[in-house]
Amino acid sequence: MTDFTVIQADPHWLPHRLDLAGQRMLFLRIERDALTESGFLADLQSERDEDAQWLPLNSVRSMQVETGPLHFIFHTAFCRSTLLARAMNIPGVSVGMAEPGILAQLAGAGDAAKDLVKPVCDLLSRPWVAEGGEREAVFVKPTNHANMLIPALLEARPDAKAVLMTNPLSTFLHSVDKRALMGRRWGRQLYLEVMGYAGMDLGMDAREQFSMTDLQAAGLAWFLSQRMYAMLQASSQGERLRVLDGDRFALDRADTVEAVLELAGLSYDPREIETVVDGPVFRKHAKLGGEFDEKAPPASPVLKQEIGQVQQWLGMIAEQAGVPIPARQTLF
């Protein structure tokens, strides 16, 4: 069993899973390579018993950790946020974490785990140390299913900056449709979820909501997230936030990475940025691995028509609500 003080001091030991019933938290020890591998940190499993350890929640709450700079990449899904998190792994400058599982667990636990948000943020912020001895800042990209935690995460770390990633509605809906039945089901589930923490009166009764098409429901989830972004920007936290269009990121990779680092107040060598954006991170699929192909098959005329109709419908809702969609890019 690894000593408590070792886990407390070593950023390789990530908080991973919450067991409220057992009043404990699972920590996994990961190597640096795991930060740039395809997939999400939430899906990691320990191959060796010595690389996994449960600690009592009281121990987690009482940990005295050496914190470092921590920043966030929040997103509305399907907007290249995982790719950006990968790109923030810049030797000697920063590391990027794509969807640590513990944040989704905290979101799912609700008020029962609200006192764990700050201890977990502090644990995630522990500086990683590069081969040259440089202490690296941490960028964390939570799952979009943890977006209800955004205010709490920003409150827990008043020093943190955050990128709010999104993309045009048509791009989002094409991504939902591309995943066929499971994508459309996911869109409906996301609508129910976002209505729970960022909902508004849409003037529809339960029967009308049930009658929506899959893409209408997914589009409403996207719209409610845009509305949440607008409210965050108008809040006292607004100066710490910048919006990034994921489609723009695809076109301006180096400018995006540099702008994120400048938002976080981090120094960097432009040559290091070029090495990252010209490297393997951008040549493989961020979620699935393998070679990444930017070319997508053309959408059917029926799908184009449906997406156009959803866009028009949501445009009217957004106009009535006074919400500009999509959120305007402000990062650069």
What DSSP string describes 188-223? HHHHHHHHHHH----S--HHHHHTS-HHHHHHHHHH
4-167+232-295, CATH topology level: Rossmann fold (3.40.50)
> In 3D, which of 5, 1, 135 has the Cα closest to residue 59?
5
Give, in order, the Cα–Cα distances in Å from 185 to each of 46, 169, 195, 213, 297: 31, 17, 16, 11, 22
Give, in order, the Cα–Cα distances in Å from 235 to each of 151, 203, 264: 10, 26, 19
Please list the ranges in the chain whose pLDDT falls under 50: none
Look at residue 47 in the predicted model and tell me its pLDDT: 81
Residue ranges per structural domain of the chain? 4-167+232-295
Look at residue 299 in the predicted model and tell me its pLDDT: 81
Provide the whole-model pTM: 0.95
In the chain, which ranges are continuous DSSP H helix? Answer: 4-9, 57-62, 81-87, 101-109, 117-124, 150-156, 169-178, 180-198, 206-210, 214-233, 246-251, 253-263, 270-277, 301-321
Q: What does the block give as tokens for 152?
A: 């709490």
Q: What does the block give as tokens for 116?
A: 């764990």
Structure confidence by residue, pLDDT tens digits, 70-128: 999 999 999 999 999 999 999 999 999 999 999 999 999 999 999 999 999 999 999 99
User: For residue 248, what is the DSSP state?
Assistant: H
Look at residue 46 in the predicted model and tell me its pLDDT: 85
Look at residue 225 in the predicted model and tell me its pLDDT: 98
